[in-house]
Structure 1
Amino acid sequence: MDVVSDAIAAVRVGQPSANRVRVTGRWCTRLPSYEGAGFRVVLAGSCWLLPDEGPAFALRAGDAVRLPHGAGHLLADAPVDAARAAAAVPFDRWLETHELPLVAPDTAGGPPAVELMCGKYRLDRSLAHPLLAELPDVVHLPSGDGRHPELRAAIDLLGREAGAGQPGAGVAVPGLLDLLLVYLVRAWMADGATTGTARWPAALDDPVVATALRLLHGDPAHPWTAAHLAARAGVSRATLARRFTALVGRPPMAYLSWWRMNRAAALLRESRDPLETIARRVGYGSPYALSHAFHRTFGVTPGRYRSGAA
């Protein structure tokens, strides 16, 4: 797997959840902060997203917003003052009167309305990759700017599938939500690479660092050494160490140790493989060696971690 795929797979827990809502008139709802990443897609109409911290965002049909760190926020028909914000209806209660079927035929009619897809992905933040941690609290991807055509296509498909009631929509919509997550991350990385405001897009654009990352992610169990990795990347050890550390934030071997622990934790959470098998898969010679390193990193034994994640 590539680095972005690994970063997403490591933290994802279960399936994404989504709600399709339609509302008219004056409205305001609050979504509290949560452990996960959220997204909002405007399928029709326009509205405002007002984070608990930071500037407000005017949204129109086709806009997508990603909240990578589960930041609390308001959704409303217009900017709100303090009194209206305090009276905002909690989102769960708001859904009771404004939610539409996600994949059943849409029979709602009436005046022009705002229609939204509001969803979230559950994340295990203890396994968060620094690539995802670098994302800002709110990533706004407006429609009509001519960029990220694959993201626009995913949003269009999601809008068509949601409420269409077509055969297979129950599978198509969750699949499109997964695709939307990947495209949102890609779009942020492309914008970050263009503006120079993010470190990880630069890391993946650097041929030496990208090669080293691809090798480490492709085979974390390999007995890598700094010299071997540098030779495969086509540079000296000193050059690799300097460029890798500057762009990734830690030396290559330190990154490998961290990634092996990340993979071990994910395998403990997702599989019932014995510790000996997991140790081999992440590059440790024995369950004891893995257990010692795991406890040093997470503060618990692999067995306790697995029982807590079950």
Structure 2
Amino acid sequence: MDVLSDVITAMRVGLPHSARVDRTAPFGRRFPSSGGAGFHVLLQGAGWLIPQAGDPIGLEPGDVVFLPRGGAHGLADSLSTPLLDVPASLSEIRPGSDEVQASTGGPVTVMLCGAYLLDRSRAHPLMEELPEVVHLPTTAGRHPGLRAALDLLGGELERSRPGTDAMVPALLDVLLLHILRAWFDERSREGAATGWTAALHDPAVAAALRAIHGEPERQWSVEELGRNVGLSRAAFARRFTTLVGRPPLTYLTWWRMTIAARLLRDSDAPSNAVAGQVGYTSEFAFAHAFKRAHGRPPGAYRRQDRAREARGGSSS
């Protein structure tokens, strides 16, 4: 089981959104905060990303900026250009909206802008460890998969063709995984690997995570997980807890409850079936564990989530 893909699947709600944005200088936009994870990719020209906190980031063609928590931010051709408020967040941007209309005048800046809709009620610690702004500057020879995904996505958004409606969401999913992979690889390459960056690059801990994610219903013990990766029980528990931030079985329970919430939200499976899929033979024990994790028993959680969807809301 690919842990990174599993994490994204568990958090995703709805389809991602993206649009090609053409701007002519001078331009300045202030985007409100969003429940999703926003991104900007500079295709042509130059510009600045201005976060709420921290220094402005100069952008060059090929640069990728990812905002994991959808923080409010500005985009401008120059730091001296005033920022005008944008009524819609990146989670709502669509091709053909006012935010993607080109104008005439000075030098043109072309960007891909969009967002992923994520359920923040069960944000995975892997995502929470990311900074407010992830900046991946264009670097010759670095992250060829990321560059290839951007080329394909840019082409689809530039000119609609048969299959575009299906291809764009798929390419956006690929882009997100490449962004995260590039970030973790950069951290490891720089010698700054700590926490989940180190966990994903640690052979023993990564193997244990794959085992847990691959068979969450299995009655794992710390001893068995350690034996599978060639470590003693004590050495494995210490290493896993240091890198992941939780003891192995605590993480296993947390992940089971995350899967259970997704199944209750996205399927009509009865509670006892959901319990079995996440390793509980007793529906009562499952309901107790679920309420402890989510604050509501499974049935109430499902009813409230469906009612929120009927009102047009989201869990993000």
Please, what TM-score do these two structures have when normalized by structure 1? 0.91
Please give the alpha-carbon distance, in whole angstroms, between the structure 2 residues aligned to 1:56 and 1:45.
17
Cα distance, 1:233 vs structure 2: 1.9
Check if 1:134 corresponds to 2:129: yes
The change in CA–CA distance for 1:247 and 1:181 in structure 2 (over 3 A counts) is same
After TM superposition, list the pairs within 5 Å mapping 1:203-222 onto structure 2: 203-222=199-218
Please give the alpha-carbon distance, in whole angstroms, between the structure 1 residues aligned to 2:35 and 2:142.
30
Please give the alpha-carbon distance, in whole angstroms, between the structure 1 residues aligned to 2:76 and 2:166.
30
After TM superposition, list the pairs within 5 Å mapping 1:13-92 onto structure 2: 13-80=13-80, 84-85=82-83, 88-92=84-88
Q: Secondary structure at the match of 1:65?
A: strand
Cα distance, 1:300 vs structure 2: 0.9
Check if 1:99 corresponds to 2:94: no
Q: Is the 8 A contact 2:24 2:103 kept in 1?
A: no
Query: Which runs of 4 or more aligned residues in structure 1 lie more than 3 Å from their structure 2 counterparts after TM superposition?
Result: 91-98, 107-112
Q: Is the 8 A contact 1:134 1:198 kept in 2?
A: no
Check if 1:157 corresponds to 2:152: yes
Residue 138 of structure 2: which of 140, 143, 146 is its match? 143
Please give the alpha-carbon distance, in whole angstroms, between the structure 1 residues aligned to 2:97 and 2:189.
42
Please give the alpha-carbon distance, in whole angstroms, between the structure 2 residues aligned to 1:278 and 1:97.
44
Please, what TM-score do these two structures have when normalized by structure 2? 0.89
Counterpart for residue 103 of structure 1:
none
Structure 1: segments with no counterpart, 5+ residues: 101-106
Q: Percent identity?
A: 48
Q: Is the 8 A contact 1:36 1:69 kept in 2?
A: yes
Please give the alpha-carbon distance, in whole angstroms, between the structure 2 residues aligned to 1:30 and 1:118.
13
Q: Is the 8 A contact 1:48 1:58 kept in 2?
A: yes
Please give the alpha-carbon distance, in whole angstroms, between the structure 2 residues aligned to 1:238 and 1:197.
23
Counterpart for residue 268 of structure 1:
264
Q: Secondary structure at the match of 1:38?
A: strand
Counterpart for residue 7 of structure 1:
7
Q: Is the 8 A contact 1:23 1:98 kept in 2?
A: no
Q: Is the 8 A contact 2:19 2:157 kept in 1?
A: no
Q: Is the 8 A contact 2:25 2:105 kept in 1?
A: no
Structure 2: segments with no counterpart, 5+ residues: 307-316
Check if 1:230 corresponds to 2:226: yes
Q: Is the 8 A contact 2:149 2:171 kept in 1?
A: yes
| Aligned amino acid, residue 77 of structure 1 | D
Deviations 1:131-156 (A, max 9, x none): 11111111111123431111011111
Q: Secondary structure at the match of 1:162?
A: helix
Please give the alpha-carbon distance, in whole angstroms, between the structure 1 residues aligned to 2:103 and 2:168.
20
| Aligned amino acid, residue 2 of structure 1 | D
| Aligned amino acid, residue 60 of structure 1 | E
Residue 303 of structure 1: which of 277, 299, 302 is its match? 299
Please give the alpha-carbon distance, in whole angstroms, between the structure 2 residues aligned to 1:153 and 1:220.
34
Counterpart for residue 253 of structure 2:
257
Return 281-290 or 107-116, whichever deviates more. Answer: 107-116
Counterpart for residue 122 of structure 1:
117
Q: Secondary structure at the match of 2:88?
A: helix
| Aligned amino acid, residue 28 of structure 2 | C
The change in CA–CA distance for 1:206 and 1:97 in structure 2 (over 3 A counts) is closer
Return 164-173 or 45-54, whichever deviates more. Answer: 164-173
Deviations 1:284-306 (A, max 9, x none): 11221111001111111111211
Return 110-119 or 60-69, whichever deviates more. Answer: 110-119
Deviations 1:115-169 (A, max 9, x none): 1211011111121111111111111111234311110111111121212222212
The change in CA–CA distance for 1:204 and 1:92 in structure 2 (over 3 A counts) is closer
Residue 186 of structure 1: which of 177, 181, 186 is its match? 181
What's the Cα RMSD here?
Answer: 2.1
Return 223-232 or 115-124, whichever deviates more. Answer: 223-232
Please give the alpha-carbon distance, in whole angstroms, between the structure 1 residues aligned to 2:13 and 2:273.
22
Counterpart for residue 168 of structure 2:
173
The change in CA–CA distance for 1:170 and 1:111 in structure 2 (over 3 A counts) is farther
Please give the alpha-carbon distance, in whole angstroms, between the structure 2 residues aligned to 1:116 and 1:191.
23
Please give the alpha-carbon distance, in whole angstroms, between the structure 1 residues aligned to 2:245 and 2:97.
46
Cα distance, 1:45 vs structure 2: 1.4
Q: Is the 8 A contact 1:29 1:89 kept in 2?
A: yes
